[in-house]
Amino acid sequence: MRYLTAFLLAAILIGGCQGNDKKAAASAPAAGETRDSAQLTSVQWLDSSKDFGKIVEGQKLEVAFRFRNTGDKPLVIEKVQPSCGCTVAEQPKEPIQPGQEGQIKASFNSEGRVGTNHKTIFVYANMKDAKAHPLVFVVQVEKKAS
């Protein structure tokens, strides 16, 4: 009975985290809705998706996505929102000036995440498209040896 309870709890936790990818995108406010359109800029994403192959369960994966401000206004990253609590993201604290590059860094904790993991980080900024930009990574987590 104890094993059944532990299995059900693990299935709920894993399933709940994976379902959050879609919920975070749907519930997140659209960036730029109340912004002055004269302050919007354009961004070239040098990395928008990555496949990290295989890692062993329990390993922390460090991720970085590069971008360039291709507009003529400073790029202000207002918020970065991972789709799941197993990923923690950092945003640049200072505006990225026109022509300059920056990066969004994140850390994925693979503990208890055996299998294929598709994770998304939504970036909200003063971008002309006024939507959150999704950054996606995939990693296959293999069960650690007992």
Q: How far, in Å, CA of 75 to CA of 96, rounded?
A: 5
Residue-level pLDDT at 37 = 79
Residue-level pLDDT at 60 = 96
* Four-CA torsion 32, 34, 35, 41, nearest 10 degrees: 20
The pTM score is: 0.75
Q: Are 92 and 128 in contact (CB under 8 A)?
A: no
Domain spans in the chain, listed from the N-terminal domain onward: 2-142
Inter-CA distances, 69 with 45, 77, 80, 100, Å: 9, 11, 17, 6
Q: How high is the mean pLDDT in each 10-residue block of the chain (146 residues)?
A: 42 48 46 66 93 96 96 95 94 96 96 96 89 94 89
Residue-level pLDDT at 130 = 64
Inter-CA distances, 25 with 31, 59, 97, 106, Å: 12, 26, 27, 17
Q: How far, in Å, CA of 62 to CA of 108, rounded?
A: 7
Q: How far, in Å, CA of 131 to CA of 114, rounded?
A: 32
Q: How far, in Å, CA of 49 to CA of 66, rounded?
A: 10
CATH class of 2-142: mainly beta
